[in-house]
Amino acid sequence: MRNAVEARAAGVKLIAWNSSGPMIEERTGFPMYDLRLDMVEALRQGGVPSIIIQPTVYLENLLGPWTQPNIVERNGLTYPVADDARLGWIASADVAAFVVAALAQPQLAGQKIVVSGMRNLSGPELAQEVSAGLGREISYRAMPLEEFGAALDKAFGPGAGQGGVAGYKFQEENRDRIATWVEMAPVLEKLPVQMTSVSQWAAQFAPAFSPVEVQQ
């Protein structure tokens, strides 16, 4: 945040900031969202024109220890959202491309631009797209939050799961306040970026989701 305040003195003319997730315009008491508002305030105080890119949910989350091992070992895509919860999954490379494109569009300064994948997918539809990319049948299973928290604790140490579980509970309770998908045609008119589909992304990362062959 200090860098944002000091950017003007350093001669920076425009900042394109990736919020790394959805934003809620008022404070919630939930650190993940309130810290993003703190950063917006830091940008305002810094006085450098800025464009804020707000992604919905990263496809790279599927590489996490709560999902990736189950795809490898059981052909099951497990994620801690309900089957019917629709999300606009976006590749991190696409978000980076939007940030770069924004830096060439100073007339967009002051705007907060939500970016998502092209499609608003349910859990089973996400699994279908991943299946197409991997060339094998993948099924979706909504992961209970307790199981998700346990996976985080195992991967990152005891206590890590508590924050993750709280985050997904908050998201479920505040669906109407959190942007999880946006119609991308108007965004692409402002910021022309070649989007990556879920199936294309899955194909790119196929080695990470492929069973390891044991050498005899």
Question: How far is it, in rounded angstroms, from Cα 84 to Cα 43?
Answer: 37
Domains and CATH numbers, the chain: 2-206 (3.40.50.720)
Better-predicted residue by pLDDT, 214 or 7 = 7
The pLDDT assigned to 4 comes to 64
| Burial (CB count within 10 angstroms: exposed 0-12, middle 13-18, buried 19+), residue 173 | exposed
pTM of the predicted structure, to 2 decimals: 0.92
Q: How confident is the model at residue 140 (pLDDT cuts 50, 70, 90)?
A: very high
Per the structure block, which two tokens stand in for 7? 């950017």
**Average pLDDT of the chain, as a whole number:** 93
Condensed to tens digits (0 to 9), the pLDDT of residues 68-122 reads 999 999 999 999 999 999 999 999 999 999 999 999 999 999 999 999 999 999 9
The pLDDT assigned to 215 comes to 42
| Burial (CB count within 10 angstroms: exposed 0-12, middle 13-18, buried 19+), residue 172 | middle
Q: Which of 41-50, 59-68, 128-137 has the lowest mean pLDDT?
A: 41-50
Condensed to tens digits (0 to 9), the pLDDT of residues 181-199 reads 999 999 999 999 999 999 9
The pLDDT of 193-206, averaged and rounded, is: 98
